[in-house]
Homo-oligomer: A and B are copies of this chain.
């Protein structure tokens, strides 16, 4: 037999999961009720309503997929794509690449458009990508690339896509709840997210929303959706007035997400965005004072995911070793690089409950102490001082 698991107390400043709100952790531990209990059905309705507020949409078809953010991605693509369809995918990091892979598994003709890692997707990129396609059914874009820290200007991109007549599918896994996501105003057709980033909820559910054009495309499908588990035509009857049994909803995670959404809406979206912006600026000031360099140019940097090159270190020191010391000695988690950025950068998340001034200062204070020992000379306390100077 093993001993009961007692997780270490961490400060989560990686690419996700981020710290869960304490209220969410209280909510998740409530005793179970049945998934067809009238009280649970009312909770599902509350979740739909609150998700619509957070996505800023009137879309009736707004719910949480019973899987993590990646299941949300797959849900959007498998329901909208059929064999032979053309899908333009903007690829400026790991998650664009993943969408290409999924589109191909749908037997669609994926048209990936590559942009160097660390750069945002710009409207003119989308124009060029569309020009290289024949009759694209959809364009897929990652709003906030968690692998690189780049923030793509979604509103302008949406205008370009709208003019083309293609559907716009957007990954807001890292952006939702941390910076503006305007599903209706920007006319996004399908959008998915995850719970464990700026919503401050454990990972395990994927909020999604589908607009009227996307629903029309799904209604006109010639073939069944290849995934039974993610088939929206069935799931919508479970989340809708009919309550037709599909699968058993994850009860405890639903308690958690409902409470997380309540916390987000009580703070207010605008206040929450502003908090993310301010803490990002404080962190950036501190990191730059310590010799870190941002991967992304200033006006395309995400508030919630800071990707940075490390300052020069002494021989025998590297980012992985430093990151492990940060975890072991200070109990702070930051992320390493993915793909081309592996071993080269850190990804520092300031998401939801993790985007707090005191948490920024705790990280900088640890770096203030660690960097000199790792062979990078800085004046004592310069990281914290720079952040504190940042109003």
* A interface residues, Cβ below 8 angstroms from B: 1-2, 4-10, 12, 14, 16-20, 23, 25-35, 37-40, 43, 46, 49-50, 66-71, 74, 78, 98, 101-102, 104-106, 194, 196, 202-204, 224-230, 245-253, 255-256, 258-259, 262, 265-266, 327, 333, 338
Contacts and interface: CB of A to CB of B under 8 A. Distances in A.
B67 A4 contact: no
A203 B5 contact: no
A27 to B, nearest CB: 7
A248 B68 contact: yes
Contacts of A43: 5
Contact of A66 (B9, B14, B204): B204
A253 B255 contact: no
Nearest to A39: B8
A262 B1 CA distance: 7
Contacts of A255: 5, 7
Given A70-B247, A248-B69, A253-B253, A50 B10 contact: no
Given A227-B227, A251-B17, A327-B37, A32 B5 contact: no
Contact of A4 (B10, B28, B259): B259
Contact of A1 (B4, B265, B338): B265
A218 to B, nearest CB: 15
B33 A247 contact: no
Contacts of A333: 33-34, 37
Given A71-B67, A228-B101, A338-B245, A27 B46 contact: no
A353 to B, nearest CB: 10
A35 B66 contact: no
A20 B194 CA distance: 25
Given A34-B12, A71-B67, A28 B252 contact: yes
- With most chain B CB atoms within 10 A of its CB, the pick from A27, A29, A105, A262 is A29
Contact of A228 (B7, B102, B248): B102
A275 B187 CA distance: 57
